[in-house]
Amino acid sequence: MTEAPTVTTADPAPLRIGARRRGTAARDEEFTAFVEAAGTRLRRSAYLMCRDWHLAQDLTQQTLAKMYAVWGRIRQDTNLEAYSRRVLMNTVFDQRRRRSGSEVVLAELPEHPDRTAPGTPELRVTLVDALARLPVRDRAILVLRHAEDHSVETVAAILGVSASVVKMGNARALARLRTLLDGHPLED
Amino acid sequence: MDQDLRQRFDMAVSGDPGADPGELARAAIADGGRIRHRRQRLAGVGMAAGLVAVLGAGAGVALLHGPRTPENQPVTLEAAMAPATAPSCTQQPDQQTATDVVLFLRDGTTDKQRMALVAKLDTDSRIQATAFDTKEQAYESFKLRWADKPELLAAVDPDKFPEAFLIRLLDATQYPPFRARYATVSGVEQVVGRTCSSDAPIGGIQ
């Protein structure tokens, strides 16, 4: 009876959990390897979703923390790349809902995006700003499909929608993006 | 078009200020560890508000496990809210033997009832290990489980989830008397037992 819970009514301390600590080092090592392999790309996708590197870092950290909390049950038999994207996108959607879009980085943009000549450094601002003007789900489709090069089927699995929803959303979002980038039309 | 777009996306992230992945991993481990530990904490103080009883009879029967796919969607919100059975456990609750038990608490359980239950569990020699699942923790698990179903997430809030004690028994054959002992304790809504392998999370749910 060495594993009896040690909680008392006076002190809401953590109950002693036998065997929980075993393998912690190995788990952390494995998790760290995953972060090293996937963290940068995850963070860049987060940036494309929110236009802010600091928030992107925060969203990525939240995503990874959620994954770490359940690492024992996702480390095997799970497509970690797709899973991480799903958690990230959910974190983005969730954050957006919680803050009612009032956060600067997720706020409405000026009516007209900056129009700068192609090839200038400002061009990248224009694309990210244009992305931010799309509905968040369409933005997610574009980021997963075009920045990350996932297949339609993978994007569908990540977002939990059908392939046809992804295809339609992709077509709609690309058309909108073209309009937004009107001064510098994307080459067909 | 797609090729051009790909280049534009690459350019869009070219201003990446960079981040140390090791630091990112350490921060995530620290934060993620806290999420894990909330599950093990007694944090019930002041959570007695809200009177919506979510778990009706049998609602603790969780058939859901593993990554969500569009094919195995639940039919009801109640089914979606039921905790997922760990893969290494019997998916249906057991009546005769069980290694892992979940004591779901009634909504509105008082601190006094909760602490009385803790005192009983604390001195129960049949128990190997115990943890506590708060409403928030149950909600966190729900959010992760249904990360791809924002409409489900929008439909619930943490208060609608039941608190639960998660228990591992020393001897699976002790489950029937254990169940009988706690099923009638004040504040306990439901007792659900499952047979799990030793690597399952305590309580057999995730």
- Nearest-CA distance A125 → chain B (Å): 7
Looking at the domain assignment, is residue B80 inside a domain?
Answer: yes
Q: Are A129 and A113 in contact (CB under 8 A)?
A: yes
Which pLDDT score is estimated for A138?
94
Q: In chain A, which residues have their Cβ closer than 8 Å to the Cβ of B17?
A: 53
Which pLDDT score is estimated for B39?
56
Domain assignment of residue B118, given as a range: 37-194
| Interchain proximity B25–A35, CB inside 8 Å | yes
Which pLDDT score is estimated for B108?
86
Q: Are B195 and B175 in contact (CB under 8 A)?
A: no
Contacts of B146 (CB under 8 A, 6+ apart): B68, B80, B152, B153
Q: Which CATH number goes with the domain that contains B96?
A: 3.30.70.3040
Q: What does each of the 188 residues of chain A score in pLDDT, given as a tens digit?
A: 444 444 444 443 444 444 555 578 888 999 999 999 999 999 999 999 999 999 999 999 999 998 998 888 788 877 898 889 999 998 898 877 665 544 434 434 444 444 444 444 444 447 898 999 899 999 999 999 999 999 999 999 888 888 899 999 999 999 999 888 865 444 44
Instruction: Give percent of chain B above pLDDT 90.
Output: 22
Which pLDDT score is estimated for A118?
47
Q: Best interface-test mutation with A: which of B148, B198, B202 has the largest number of A CBs within 10 A? A: B148
| Interchain proximity A57–B25, CB inside 8 Å | no
Q: In chain A, which residues have their Cβ closer than 8 Å to the Cβ of B119?
A: 9
Domain count, chain B: 1
Taking the Cβ of residue B202 and every Cβ of chain A, the question of whether any pair is shorter than 8 Å is answered with yes
Asked if residue B70 has pLDDT above 60, the reply is no
Contacts of B189 (CB under 8 A, 6+ apart): B53, B55, B104, B105, B106, B107, B162
Domains of chain A: 24-107 (1.10.1740.10), 111-188 (1.10.10.10)
Distance between CA atoms of residues A30 and A36, nearest Å:
10
Q: Are B119 and A9 in contact (CB under 8 A)?
A: yes
Asked if residue B14 has pLDDT above 60, the reply is yes
Distance of CA A78 to the CA centre of its chain: 17
- Condensed to tens digits (0 to 9), the pLDDT of residues B138-165 reads 888 888 888 777 777 777 888 888 899 9
Looking at the domain assignment, is residue B134 inside a domain?
Answer: yes
Give the 3-state secondary structure of residue B33. Answer: helix
- Look-up of token digits 């980085």: A105
Distance between CA atoms of residues B26 and A167, nearest Å:
38
Interface ipTM:
0.73
| Interchain proximity A4–B144, CB inside 8 Å | no
- Condensed to tens digits (0 to 9), the pLDDT of residues A51-89 reads 999 999 999 999 999 899 888 878 887 789 888 999 999
Closest residue to B24, CB basis, from A35, A48, A90: A35
- Nearest-CA distance B53 → chain A (Å): 25
Taking the Cβ of residue A44 and every Cβ of chain B, the question of whether any pair is shorter than 8 Å is answered with yes
- Condensed to tens digits (0 to 9), the pLDDT of residues B83-120 reads 888 888 888 888 889 999 999 999 888 888 888 898 88
Closest residue to A68, CB basis, from B29, B66, B87: B29
Average pLDDT over residues B58-71: 35
Task: List all residues of chain B from 91 to 130 with a beta carbon under 8 Å from chain A.
Answer: 115, 118-119, 121-122, 125, 127-130
Q: Best interface-test mutation with A: which of B2, B4, B7, B8 has the largest number of A CBs within 10 A? A: B8
Looking at the domain assignment, is residue B187 inside a domain?
Answer: yes
Q: Angle between the B135-145 and A53-69 helix axes, to the nearest 10 degrees?
A: 100
